[in-house]
Amino acid sequence: MLSQVVELIEHKRFFAITSHMRPDGDSLGSSLGLYWLLRQLGKSVEVIMRDPAPQAYHKLPGACEVRTTQKVDREYDAVFVIECSDITRPGLENLEEQFVVNIDHHSTTALFGTVNWIDSTASAVGEMIYNLCKAVGVRVTREIAECVYTALLTDTGSFHYSNTTERTFKIASELVRAGVRPAKIAEAVFNSYSWNKLSLLSEVLSTARQDASGRIATLRQSLAMTARGGNADEDGIVNYPMSVGKIEAVAFLKEHEPGIYRTSLRSKGDVNVARVAEKFGGGGHRNAAGCTLYGTWEEAEEKIVALLQEAVERGAGAQHSSEPEELGQPQETVV
């Protein structure tokens, strides 16, 4: 609960903040927003991550201070774990021995913290960090505002996704008042491709296939493509097939080892890909989820496409709610 987090911040002083492996805009923006909040209160704090920040987030205030490490190698009063579905997602050894504070906006998160603050109505954990600033009486400086705005911008898909609410825009507006220049952030986050990334994008897009219905697309990234891409990451590539009007769900299979594929799923509207991911031991949000698949390319694709077809059919039959739907809302039982 928020009140427990406030009390803890007031009474303790030596903190660490971490988030999931391969951090994204919400995990980095929220972690760094919290970092500046704690700094303003005179606390000792560091951000520790298993993986370095992608290029798109290098301009975030504090990004260069993120320490990459494989294990929690110090004793903290508390470690904040930002937007992780379970204690293994940060990929840090010895984390479970610390006093853990779980902050997340996924309703499906495990309550693995000593303190758990979960708000599934928040479009991004960034919104929660903004609320925390208000709750502890910290001024929203330009640093905090830029971090939180980046979290909102990326987790709502530039305010496109159905998790975007009136509150999201209200907070975004406050952040602009606090000094955020939206064009500057958008430029840093979205126009940050390297030439290698453009080449990787063209290779991956050349594998795009649609199923017989034309409503489901698949993409592949082989180990060879990853090697040719150098240090280019695949972030955002999964979204390209969504620009086809008729496409309702996408599976992007990235070969991790021969026969093992990290898979990103995306969908539109009522098509629930979190449910599909869960069937393969993964999870996520209704419209953005992930899991791991095994077998040959064809076997893996066949399995995922079959379940996506069911999800698309179920989605087409679902009642459209007139309320804005939250990404992290509890989801109805599959019948």
Instruction: Report if residue 284 touches ligand 5GP, rule: CB under 6 A.
Output: yes
Q: Which does 264 bind (CB under 5 to 8 A by kind): Mn ion, ligand 5GP, none?
A: ligand 5GP
DSSP one-letter string for 287-302? SEEEEEEES-HHHHHH
Question: Are 83 and 123 spatial neighbours (Cβ–Cβ below 8 Å)?
Answer: no
Comparing CB distances to Mn ion, the nearer of 27 and 263 is 27
Q: Binder to Mn ion among 32, 78, 83, 180 (CB under 5 A)?
A: 83
Q: Binder to ligand 5GP among 285, 287, 305, 311 (CB under 6 A)?
A: 285
Cα 335–chain centre separation: 28
Instruction: Report if residue 119 touches Mn ion, rule: CB under 5 A.
Output: no
Q: Which does 237 bind (CB under 5 to 8 A by kind): ligand 5GP, Mn ion, none?
A: none
Segment lying near Mn ion (by CB under 5 A), choices 123-131, 141-149, 180-188, 259-267: 123-131
Instruction: Write out the binding residues for ligand 5GP, residues 31-70 only, by CB under 6 A.
Output: none
Least separation, in Å, of the C-beta of 106 and ligand 5GP?
7
**Parallel/antiparallel/unpaired status of strands 67-68 and 44-49:** parallel
Q: Which does 284 bind (CB under 5 to 8 A by kind): ligand 5GP, Mn ion, none?
A: ligand 5GP
Instruction: Report if residue 288 touches ligand 5GP, rule: CB under 6 A.
Output: yes
Comparing CB distances to ligand 5GP, the nearer of 90 and 290 is 290
The span from the first CA to the last CA of the chain, in angstroms, equals 32
User: What token pair was written down for 214?
Assistant: 């034309």
Residue 95 CB partners (closer than 8 Å, separation 6+): 18, 72, 79, 81, 87
Calculate Rg over the CA atoms of the chain. 20
Q: How far apart are CA 167 and CA 234, in angstroms?
A: 30
Instruction: Report if residue 268 touches ligand 5GP, rule: CB under 6 A.
Output: no
Q: How far apart are CA 313 and CA 121, in angstroms?
A: 26
Q: Which does 203 bind (CB under 5 to 8 A by kind): ligand 5GP, Mn ion, none?
A: none
Beta bridge partners of 317: none
Where do we find the tokens 């903190």?
15
Segment lying near ligand 5GP (by CB under 6 A), choices 44-52, 240-248, 253-261, 280-288: 280-288
Q: Which does 26 bind (CB under 5 to 8 A by kind): Mn ion, ligand 5GP, none?
A: Mn ion
Question: Strand, coil or helix: what is 118?
Answer: strand
Least separation, in Å, of the C-beta of 157 and Mn ion?
11
Where do we find the tokens 């939250």?
326
Instruction: Report if residue 26 touches Mn ion, rule: CB under 5 A.
Output: yes
Under DSSP, the state recorded for 281 is: T
Site residues (vs Mn ion, CB under 5 A): 26, 83, 124, 155
Site residues (vs ligand 5GP, CB under 6 A): 85, 264, 282-285, 288-291
